[in-house]
Amino acid sequence: MIVYEALKSEFISAVTNDTITADINRAYEAQIGHSPRSLMESWHNSMEYMFKVLIDVKIPDDAGIAIEFKIPMTSKRIDFIITGFDKQDRKSAVIIELKQWQACERVSEKDGVVRTAVGKGMHEVLHPSYQVDSYRLAMQSFSVPVQNDPIELHPCAYLHNYNLREHPDLDDVLYQKYIQQAPIFTAGDVLKLRLFIDTYIHKGDQGKILFEISEGKIHPSRMLQDSLASMLAGNQEFVMIDDQKLVFEEALKLADEFRKDHQKRVMIVKGGPGTGKSVVAVNLLVELTRRGMMAQYATKNSAPREVYFKRLKGRHYDTSPSVLFKGSGSYVESGNNDLDVILADEAHRLNAKSGMFHNLGENQIKEIIHASGLSVFFIDEHQRVTLQDIGSVAEIEKYAEKAHAEVISMKLESQFRCSGSDGYLSWIDDVLDIRQTANSDFDFDYDFRVYDDPEKLRKMIVSRNGKNKARMVAGYCWKWISDGKNNPDVHDIVIDPYHFAMSWNLSSGSPWADDAGSVDQCGCIHTCQGLEFETVGVLIGDDMRYENGRVITDYTKRAGTDQSLKGIKKMMKNDPVRAKAAADEIIRNTYRTLLTRGSRCCGVFCTDPALREYLRMRSANSRKK
């Protein structure tokens, strides 16, 4: 989809007559909706600079111009495209990322990331060269005209307000591998950008190339299919067993049926921790792509996406499959059945609204069903851990009915975590008073340990880390100190009188679960949910205690920086009964999730001595090593 398209001569005329911003805005409102004031200001400023660049006789008047081009399979839009033919008469497109930035800071501990002013504060964002080159990769991966004609793509970034001499971090050696792929142009570089465009746009195309791209078929490229297949081959972590294979085959059958009859379908796959929901989802992503279907893997939290893509990729250096791993809020603007299949992993974490400020869209469940012919929701309702989590079987079925979609339900039963013991999971539910089960006694083969000293627990985790397989995690009872996000010497978690101090997981370049240095950092629910380790150490804070013969929860002991209970105070005023029940469920679900991250061993320290003794008594038969 292209919001605004014209020939270069028409664009020059619109800027000259001061109508370009209104023209773009009119087209934007017609196709997408009301445009925010900040976006209109960006258009106004950037189009004036692009006018200066393009008012050059060497750039043909009949070259095609596109503004706000939506990239296939993404919610992202390319700011500016110029199309034509190069000197060898090859189809060519220059894609330009426009930025209003005036400064930025390098982020040395992350790959392809800088820090710049966004809104009212400094935020980490992608380096413009990395960003625009990822757009090139996405177009090459899915646009049939780009793949087959072919159409040569040449990315670059133009930061027309940026003084590179005063703020050299943008051009730091850290980013050179991306800048070589997509050059950056800054204030005073009008002539340099002209020369870059002249190199690739020698003859006009009357906008025909834009038409081919925007109206062309969308299909995963053979290179992308082969790349994914090679990543999965021999990767033991993603081998399917037992009922995982049954769910996999059923989903493939449903996807094939959609292609034949175009009947929308919704598949709900229920499964507890360790039943292999993500293993099935990743296998489906690879196989569906290999079959030429448009599929994406979506989660609310970035941690599972980043970890599974990294593990899938292994030593492969091809990053193009990363466009298949999306956030659950990516479908706000999607059309009906834009995709063949969306694989919604961790579906219990879906939200109503999307975006950084939860102000976009209507409902992520509705939008996923709308955007795909087959939507597969992998869900465990006992893992909803924030007030914003709306993912439930009932909600999925409700929106499926509204979309006139057939609903198919399956369940993953086999347990591949916690030494393969369904009994441990049921025991945790019973111990935490989530539900009464038949597993009140600890009579199964799993290593569960209760510690009276958090430092001893940490030493156990470090000793068992081995091949990066052990991690410390904690409930949200300790504030996240902003100054410590990138500083391991700032300790967020301090437990007296044990002289225990530890940092929350840092903002490092690698996912916390796979970063070798993460054994020295404490993970939270958002960085470990959907993942597993051989050994996990859990810190249970003051929000869970043992009083009067019962396990109780206390949301007032949660840290002020905890966003999972955002809005609870207002809810408490309006409906205290409902608020207490919601907070209680979230806290119990949080610890249930943390306590089931270890495949072989779980060590626990509780700040409440009575809860420690209760857990020790309940786990009296646990084997010790």
| 594 pLDDT higher than 60 | yes
Which has more confidence, 312 or 342? 342
Q: How far apart are CA 579 and CA 327, in angstroms?
A: 28
380 strand-pairing partners? none
Which residue type sits at 478? W
Is the CB of residue 491 less than 8 Å from the CB of residue 484?
yes
Which has more confidence, 575 or 302? 575
List, for residues 520-551, the tens digit of each pLDDT value: 999 999 889 888 899 999 999 999 999 999 99
Q: How far apart are CA 264 and CA 337, in angstroms?
A: 8
Find the range with the poorest average confidence among 25-39, 116-130, 269-283: 25-39
| 65 pLDDT higher than 50 | yes
**pLDDT (average), residues 79-106:** 96
Q: Which pLDDT value is given to residue 624?
A: 47
Which residue type sits at 83? T
How crowded is the C-beta side of 143, counted as CA atoms within 13 Å?
27
Q: Which pLDDT value is given to residue 119?
A: 76
Find the range with the poorest average confidence among 81-90, 270-279, 378-387, 598-607: 270-279
- CATH 3.40.50.300 location in the chain: 222-412
Q: Which pLDDT value is given to residue 620?
A: 84
**pLDDT (average), residues 440-469:** 90
**pLDDT (average), residues 556-560:** 93
| 625 pLDDT higher than 70 | no
| Domain spanning 222-412, CATH class | alpha beta
Q: Is 122 left (phi over 0), alpha (psi -120 to 50) or beta?
A: beta
Q: Which pLDDT value is given to residue 509?
A: 57
**pLDDT (average), residues 358-367:** 93
Is the CB of residue 68 less than 8 Å from the CB of residue 29?
no
DSSP for 423-486, written as a single string: HHHHHHHHHTTSS--S--S--SS-EEEEES-HHHHHHHHHHT-TTT-EEEEE-S-S---GGGTT
SS3 state at 75: coil
Q: Which pLDDT value is given to residue 421?
A: 63
| 203 pLDDT higher than 90 | yes
Is the CB of residue 280 less than 8 Å from the CB of residue 240?
yes
Report the b/e string of 420-438 with b at 16+ CB within 10 A.
ebbbbbbbbbbbbebeeee
DSSP for 116-155, written as a single string: EEETTEEEEEE-HHHHHHHHHHHHHHHBHHHHHTT-EEEE
Q: Which pLDDT value is given to residue 610?
A: 97
**pLDDT (average), residues 89-107:** 96
Q: How far apart are CA 481 and CA 494, in angstroms?
A: 12
Q: Which pLDDT value is given to residue 622?
A: 58
Q: How far apart are CA 211 and CA 511, in angstroms?
A: 40
Query: Is 598 buried (19+), middle (13-18) or exposed (0-12) by CB count in 10 A?
Result: buried
How many CB atoms lie under 10 A from the CB of residue 415? 20
In the chain, % of residues over pLDDT 70:
95
Per DSSP (E only), the strands in 245-365 are: 265-271, 295-299, 325-327, 339-344
**pLDDT (average), residues 289-296:** 93
| Spatial CA neighbour of 397 closest among 419, 375, 420, 427 | 375
Q: Which pLDDT value is given to residue 137?
A: 87
Is the CB of residue 275 less than 8 Å from the CB of residue 413?
yes
| Residue 7: its H or E element | strand 2-7
| Spatial CA neighbour of 476 closest among 420, 527, 543 | 543
| Residue 347: its H or E element | none
Helices (H) and strands (E) in the chain, counts: 20, 24
| Domain spanning 419-618, CATH class | alpha beta
Quick one: pLDDT band at residue 315, thresholds 50, 70, 90? low
Q: Please state the φ and ψ torsions of residue 103, each to the nearest 5 degrees.
A: -165, 160
Estimate the share of the chain in helix, then strand, then coil, as percent rounded to the nearest 5: 40, 25, 35
Q: How far apart are CA 427 and CA 438, in angstroms?
A: 8
Q: How far apart are CA 288 and CA 127, in angstroms?
A: 31
SS3 state at 580: helix
Q: How far apart are CA 553 and CA 547, in angstroms?
A: 10
| Spatial CA neighbour of 19 closest among 4, 32, 1 | 4
Q: Which pLDDT value is given to residue 501?
A: 95
List, for residues 222-257, the tens digit of each pLDDT value: 878 887 888 777 677 788 888 899 999 999 999 999
| 408 pLDDT higher than 60 | yes
**pLDDT (average), residues 170-195:** 96
80 strand-pairing partners? 67, 96
Q: How far apart are CA 45 and CA 187, in angstroms?
A: 13
- Note the Cα 398 to chain centre separation in Å: 25
Retrieve residue 397's tokens: 């079925």
| Spatial CA neighbour of 501 closest among 521, 528, 476 | 521
- Look over the chain and give the mean of its residue pLDDT values, rounded to a whole number: 90
Report the b/e string of 94-129 with b at 16+ CB within 10 A.
bbbbbbebebbebbeebebbbbbeeeeeeeebbbbb
Find the range with the poorest average confidence among 26-30, 286-290, 385-389: 26-30
| Spatial CA neighbour of 618 closest among 382, 421, 426 | 426
Retrieve residue 221's tokens: 């490229």
